[in-house]
Amino acid sequence: MRFVLLDFAGVSGTDSSAILSLLKLRSFSDKRGIAISYSGVAVPLQSRFEAAGLFGKSGRHRCFPNLSEALHWSEEQLLREARSRAEDEAPVDFGSWLSHELECPIPPLVMGYFNPSELRDGQILYRQGDPANTIDFVASGVLAIVVDDGHNPPRRIRRSIRQTVLGEMGFFRNARRAAAISAEGPAVIYSLDGPSLKRMQEEHPEIYEHFLRS
């Protein structure tokens, strides 16, 4: 465990025994390198918590205005570590990664079914509500997944880093995109559309079967 998120949006007050319990949680977390994020803490409670030493402006444990910002901060820490590890690792060729994921060798001709594209920072891969007509493979970079419910500001629900797959559920269900996806920095995407998947089925049925199982 790396992070604990405590949302106080519905909490209007507390007592000394609750603060003592939180102090015990802080001590437990300190020994194990766990960061505690407090969100939605009312101003009077925030003053009491800070005075008790539960969190501060610096250090491992922090307070955020709402749960979304607390999640965002935690995610940023994990992504920073993931990027650092990725920089230390040798680049993985997309074909090699795909072969490993499908558990079968991928002939060069099969790679022709995938359409590569380079995205710049902020470029949109697809918009919410677009037809889900491709499966997209993240070869490198980071992509943000954002949902707009039409009533509140658009909300980023997660990020995808390299060697992940996007849009497969909507593609096979013949549905619309449930979220918008855009690049955060340069990214390389390999896309597989319906006609290309059909060609794979007809020309390389054994790889097509591996693809469906994976």
- What are the domain boundaries of the chain? 3-85, 91-213
3-state secondary structure of 139: strand
Q: What is the pTM of this model?
A: 0.64
62-105 tens-digit pLDDT: 999 988 888 888 888 887 776 666 555 545 688 888 888 888 88
What is the CATH number assigned to the segment(s) 3-85? Answer: 3.30.750.24
Over the Cα atoms of the chain, what is R_g?
22
Average pLDDT, the chain: 88
Q: Which of 53, 45, 58 shows the shortest CA–CA distance to 25? A: 53
User: Domain 91-213 class?
Assistant: mainly beta
Q: Is the pLDDT of residue 49 over 60?
A: yes
Return d(Cα 49, Cα 119) in angstroms, integer. 44
Name which residue leads in pLDDT, 157 or 132: 132
3-state secondary structure of 134: strand
- β-strand 180-183 against 187-193: which pairing, if any? unpaired
Instruction: Provide mean pLDDT across the span 27-44.
Output: 92
